[in-house]
Structure 1
């Protein structure tokens, strides 16, 4: 019979505590990405804004995370895991407090940026800590444990947000982060390793600034059509600056010895198509967690809690679809599945244009479940396609690039939907109650068409893989 020595027990306890610390950080990051969706109408009333112009609250958080993700690994190596993770918790908590104190939309968006700066570091730095601390044979098991809260956060976020708004006020959506942040900070000081990388390569600051500026200006251009109230000339200037900055980054990366993301990554066809498909297909579908609760509260009179509960079928169907999705990819291959499923996601998105005020609840639930199922299949297939052919030398960089594109697409998708909704609102007139339903219908059709158009990207995939070769690529649970 083997016994555990006194020296081994504390070490194992510290490993478990580290896992819980990283898992809770991941949970808070994903929870705050969705918890505000059902609370936006209540926030709008409190701040004296239209509920149809509140998408900047979501865009600011997602865009800030996308902007900081490329620098997260270098920051952790340069300054150490513990200082960076502790800074992430402090920024996230401070941003949460300022969100609760905001008395205008501008201050709320600024606070969400600060919150996003912290949230962007929680998962990458926590994942790096697990990688450097756990033995190789236990890494997969450890990361599986950490990933579970990331699935629970979006599941309970909309419902929890709706309940908090009804039980208290929307401010408590952010205030609940403060005790968690305090305990997380104390646990970080106790259990997070300090570890730095002594042989750290230089950071490509020029490339980072070009890439970040390009992402921000393009997203602001989309949001400027609605949330920021910019005129067409201002939007055009922002778009030109954004495209020029991204082009300059590409040219810079071609000649830089150690760029943020090597252009050689795009020599891998599956990654190239997967990233472009991720970006453009999510432009259409990423807005749905925001648009559906907004539709139900603004046009149908749902309470925040009722709107949050109506999002449960989407998430439950998403979870149920994970295993069948693996079988479909193995049986039919990535090209057929992604082309067909992208069309289905677009049609499911556009189907919400048929929403009526007297639509039976059971039919609405079925519609939401159908969207959740095909959307989950889309995420599984796209994410696995993007990473499946990367060698060990490219895996880390490719994964970071995928994470950045996902967050960027989420922010740009919400901004695009807000711009389209604002355009239809101006065309149809009133923006309150049932009178806003035509504007929502037009928006759902447009976002569905954007998704359908992205199927042409996945059509470029080669479908020559034999079934045995396809079977070797187990779809990754990344979302």
Structure 2
């Protein structure tokens, strides 16, 4: 896709809009996780139900990414991305004004729809204004923005909860969103549109495949075994039907051509495992720190912060190493370090000192940072250059599927576990996901070797 003629100032403003969109989503995820125990007490809800404040958001994002990307092709990138920013901002205000769990969860659904538009299209937005020679620098800025927003989120949440009630956590998004919308509508260039009919059947099957599968896992956590089997079976059926339906499309919503590349598909599976491990820990740790160890919300935010902070420090370093060493090995080493950090968190003493938690969280951050940059680089370069937009979309899909799956498994584990063991079991399962991701990552070394032998 040719880059439209834009000035350097306009390019920087568009990049700022992309970063602000990432910050909105990053702050929202981190803030909501930290606030779950507080919201649970304030709304007088069980831990299992409260977790769905996070679950429904990630689930909505996951099922909306591919339809959002398809709509951008037909209606234009600027329109869909701008609409997503406005929708997210309005839903953030609705979250803050909600007085019941039902209203809050409904607002989070709308918020997820807006976030999906931004997450699916941020890479395409940047690529639309940057020449090829500058894309590496542009995507490095995006990766750094993701890590920094995650690092600031827990500390910001802790600071807000120390002086105000939880609705103010969602109000933080409103001024950022309003500024981002105004800036984006002014700076973003007009985007081309392709007159394509929207694939309603594919979108419906996409929602069924992802949504029903994760809802089935949650039903298992609620001990509704018959309902769970029905939902999981229906989700698998939708997955099979989606694959068959997409194979018949000239412009499929699901990029089957990229998924047919072993190196690409293994990298996507590695991403799903890594992000599932991450969200299992991110959702479970606040309950461990506040409910089991009886720390305050402020201390919980401080205890969580080393993880994303070390991701921000390790990711650029891993990116430089990826130019000299195999990405498959670097990502595998990173996920192995993550698994060690998660295992040590699950084996903490009953009342650890701050430093005794901080070094474990830092180890997780270093491992995740070493995984992330090399793996993302492989996803973006394993397919043809003409399909980099679809590759970026699938990377967002893998991330949100991992988050949604991990969040649903938290609900499952809390529903099954008795007493305070739920958080520990979540960390143990997260360790398993990290190890599985490490195995999938290093297997790419074999795939790449075989591909080289055939050429």
User: In the alignment, which residue of structure 1 is the partner of 2:202?
Assistant: 207
**1:73 to 2:69 alignment:** yes
CA-CA distance at 1:465 after TM superposition: 6.1
Note the C-alpha offset of 1:368. 1.1
Structure 1: runs of 5+ lacking an equivalent: 1-7, 431-435, 470-479
State whether structure 2 residue 406 is matched by structure 1 residue 413: yes
Q: Do the aligned residues in 1 keep the contact of 2:58 with 2:403 (CA within 8 Å)?
A: yes
Give CA-to-partner distance per residue, 1:235-262, whole Å, 9 cap, x none. Answer: 1111001111011111222232221124
Contact 2:342 2:431 in 1 (8 A): yes
Asked whether the equivalents of residues 56 and 223 of structure 1 are also in contact (C-alpha less than 8 Å), the reply is no
Q: In structure 2, what is the Cα distance between the partners aligned to 1:327 and 1:26?
A: 23
1:319 maps to 312
Indicate the residue corresponding to 1:98 in structure 2. Answer: 94
TM-score, structure 2 normalization: 0.88
Cα drift, residue 82 of structure 1: 4.1
Contact 2:338 2:365 in 1 (8 A): no
State the 1:95 CA deviation.
1.1
Q: How many residues align?
A: 446
Question: What is the TM-score normalised by the length of structure 1?
Answer: 0.84
Specify the SS of the correspondent of 2:443.
coil
1:251 aligns with 2:247: no
**Which of these residues, 192, 212, 220, is aligned with residue 215 of structure 2?**
220
Alpha carbons of structure 1 residues 220 and 136: separation in structure 2 relative to 1, 3 Å: same
Q: Please report how far the alpha carbon of residue 132 of structure 1 lies from its aligned counterpart in structure 2 after TM superposition.
A: 3.2
**CA shift at 1:105, angstroms?**
2.0
**CA offsets, 1:22-78, max 9 Å, x none?**
322221122112111111111111110134542211122222222222123332343
Of 50-59 and 243-252, more deviation after overlay is shown by: 50-59
DSSP 3-state at the match of 2:349: coil
Choose the corresponding residue for 1:241, options 213, 229, 234: 234
2:424 counterpart residue number? 441
1:452 and 2:435 aligned: yes
Q: Deviations over 1:408-459 (max 9, x none)?
A: 111111211231132112xxxx4xxxxx2x3332332233234334444345
- Asked whether the equivalents of residues 22 and 123 of structure 1 are also in contact (C-alpha less than 8 Å), the reply is no
1:167 shift after superposition = 0.9
Distance 1:171 1:200 in 2: 42
SS at match of 1:301: coil
Q: Deviations over 1:175-215 (max 9, x none)?
A: 12222333333334433334332x44443332222122211
Task: State the Cα deviation string for residues 146-176 of structure 1 (Å, max 9, x = none).
Answer: 5543332111011111211121110011112
Partner Cα separation in structure 2 for residue 217 and residue 333 of structure 1: 37
Give the structure 2 partner of residue 174 of structure 1: 170
Q: What is aligned with 2:36?
A: 40
Residue of structure 2 equivalent to 1:433: none
Alpha carbons 2:124, 2:389 under 8 Å: kept: no
Q: Distance in 2 between matches of 1:129 and 1:289?
A: 29
> C-alpha distance in 1, partners of 2:385/2:398?
20
Structure 1 residues 54 and 248 mapped into 2: Cα distance closer, same or farther (>3 Å)? same
Which deviates further from its counterpart, 41-50 or 275-284? 275-284
**Secondary structure of 1:64's match?**
helix
Change (3 A) 1:55 1:191: same
Cα distance change on mapping 1:341 and 1:184 into 2, 3 Å: closer
Q: Cα deviations across residues 330-377 of structure 1 (Å, max 9, x unaligned)?
A: 666345445554444333223222122332322221111111111222
Is 1:154 the counterpart of 2:150? The answer is yes
Matches within 5 A, 1:201-350: 201-226=196-221, 229=222, 231-326=224-319, 333-350=326-343
Taking a change above 3 Å as real, the CA distance of residues 90 and 287 of structure 1, as seen in their structure-2 partners, is same
Are residues 366 and 93 of structure 1, via their aligned partners in 2, closer, same or farther at CA, if it must alter by over 3 Å?
same
Give, in whole Å, the separation in 1 of the partners of 2:411 and 2:234.
21
**Aligned in 2, Cα 1:200/1:131: closer, same or farther, shift over 3 Å?**
farther
Indicate the structure (1 or 2) with the bigger Cα radius of gyration.
1
Following TM superposition, by how much is the alpha carbon of 1:127 offset from its aligned partner in structure 2, in angstroms?
4.3
Unaligned runs of 5+ in 2: none
Q: Is 2:349 the partner of 1:362?
A: no
How far apart, in 1, do the equivalents of 2:329 and 2:133 lie?
35
Aligned Cα root-mean-square deviation (Å): 2.8
> Relative to 1, partners in 2 of residues 1:143 and 1:231: Cα closer, same or farther, differing over 3 Å?
same
| SS of alignment partner, residue 310 of structure 1 | helix
d(CA) in 2 for partners of 1:462, 1:19: 34
1-structure distance, mates of 2:324, 2:385: 27
CA change 1:209–1:156 in 2 (3 A) is same
| Maintained 8 Å contact 1:23/1:147 | no
Check 1:332–1:130 CA distance in 2 against 1; reply closer, same or farther (3 A cut). closer
Shift in CA distance, 353/73, structure 1 to aligned 2, threshold 3 Å: closer
* Structure 1 contact 349–444 (Cα < 8 Å) conserved: yes
**Equivalent-residue separation in structure 2 for 1:464 and 1:192 (angstroms):** 40
- The CA distance in 2 between the partners of 1:142 and 1:91, in whole Å, is 26
Q: 4+ residue stretches of structure 1 with deviation over 6 A?
A: none
